[in-house]
Amino acid sequence: LKQNNIETIENDTFIYLTSLLRLNLNNNRLYLIENSAFNCLNFLQILYLSENLIESLDFNLTQLKSLKILEIRYNPLKELKNR
């Protein structure tokens, strides 16, 4: 999903991709990720969010139990909330 001008990720967007291991959302126009957007991604190990317009990470990181790498560079980040 890299370079697709995606602006938002809504809750349960990936509900049918439960076995996904890596998700690349780099180089989009992401500014909003709803807090349950990655709810079903129990096996996700790598999440790329670099080069977007994200100012705040307000989604629930604790639901990503298998996450090993979270790449968020080159965003205008001002706030990181961990629920």
- pLDDT category at 83 given cuts 50, 70, 90 is low
Over range 31-58, report the average pLDDT.
93
- pLDDT category at 45 given cuts 50, 70, 90 is very high
Over range 8-27, report the average pLDDT.
95
Q: How many other C-beta atoms lie within 10 A of the C-beta of residue 13?
A: 19
What is the C-alpha separation between 45 and 7, in angstroms, rounded?
A: 23
80 pLDDT above the threshold of 80: no
One-letter-per-residue 3-state SS of the chain: CCCCCCCEECCCCCCCCCCCCEEECCCCCCCEECCCCCCCCCCCCEEECCCCCCCEECCCHHHCCCCCEEECCCCCCCEECCC
Task: Report pTM.
Answer: 0.90
Q: Tens digits of per-residue pLDDT, 26-38?
A: 999 999 999 889 9
